[in-house]
Amino acid sequence: MDGSDRRVPIDAQQVAAPLSRSAVFLVVTIPSGDDVLRTALEVVAGIDDLVKSVGFRDLGANLSCVVGIGSDLWDRLGRTDRPAELRPFTQIVNGEHRAPATPGDLLFHIRADRADFCFEFERLLLEQLGDAVEVVDEVNGFRYFDARDLLGFVDGTANPSGAGMAEATLIGDEDPAFAGGSYVVVQKYLHDLAVWNAMTTEQQEAVIGRRKADNLELDDTEPQRAHKTLATITGDDGEELEILRDNMPFGSPASGEMGTYFIGYSRRLWVIERMLQRMFLGDPPGYHDRILDVSTATTGGTFFVPPLHLLEALADGD
């Protein structure tokens, strides 16, 4: 069902909202003080109303918004309960390769098939938040050709689908107080496209682990494993533990700053954490993900995405 078949906009907090042609990734912090905290919570509690106010203008634009709450902010809510795996992003350092941890109390993942809808939603959102927040990172993403990243490869091939989407992304009975929620990790990567484009297609394909033209998987050259292998985590039963990636290219040719914004949703935070450890530290150790030789992580944050009913209750202190 596309937007023209719906009668109402997409509800807020829909992790599995459709992949979009445009996105805004907005990370903010909340200064100390009860008044600013109360204002910020009131705004996020009403995020669904804002989605509907803007989204109703063109349902086919598929406007959606997901709000994530950082570990430090959760500590300020005064609640006695806590999502089981919510914790700060852990910095990873391996020589010149580093996954930094950067500040972030709230993440807003705004998606739409029209860039003007992302713009308008963000404008009204920040107007409502006012001085209650400080913007620490803002990235405007776009869909690039046939779902490729700026390195030229199709991104998101391994995403779950159908019934597997909820199984991969939504917390279940293992943490009943937060069932229906999700964990999300974000990182901003800057690419050195000059170095990447100087490589042959075969060299690039060995790094990614897929053919560039048709996206078919390639075998690894042991012991060096490709990006697609290092980013694949399996459980004790050998089955792959999927995550939902909604990565987006971003950049400005004039400034020379271009890259990929990684965003991964998961029912199990440890799955993404292990994926990053394998990429930066290597598996086996010493064989890091060679995509890091041309891609530098500049941000890193972990957030909990409450289901809508819980998000709406936060302003009441429930």
**Residue ranges per domain, the chain?**
22-313
Distances (CA, A) of 252 to 25, 262, 276: 16, 17, 26
Q: How far is CA 172 from CA 13, 17, 66, 114, 185, in A?
A: 16, 19, 19, 33, 19
pLDDT tens by residue, 108-162: 999 999 999 999 999 999 999 999 999 999 999 999 999 999 999 999 888 998 8
Tens of pLDDT, residue by residue over 88-105, are 999 999 999 999 999 999
pLDDT for residue 4: 54
What lies within 8 Å, CB to CB, of 6 at 6+ separation is 59
Residue 135's pLDDT is what? 98
Residues 113, 155, 246, 289: which is the catalytic one? 155
pLDDT at 318 over 90: no
pLDDT tens-digit readout, 122-135 = 999 999 999 999 99
CA distance 41 to 26: 16
Of 28, 114, 10, 116, the closest CA to residue 66 belongs to: 10
Q: Decide if 133 contacts 69 (C-beta within 8 A).
A: no
Mean pLDDT of 279-306: 97
pLDDT at 5 > cutoff 90: no
Q: Is the dihedral of CA 104, 94, 260, 153 positive or negative?
A: negative
- What mean pLDDT is predicted for residues 71-77? 97
Looking at the predicted structure, is the pLDDT value of residue 1 above 50? Answer: no
Is the full-model pTM beyond 0.85? yes
DSSP state of 234: B
The type of residue at 258 is M
Residue 232 CA to residue 50 CA, distance in Å, equals 36
Residue 155 annotated as catalytic: yes
Residues 272-290 have pLDDT tens digits of 999 999 999 999 999 999 9
Q: What are phi and psi of 55, to 5 degrees?
A: -70, -25
The predicted structure's pLDDT at residue 219: 94
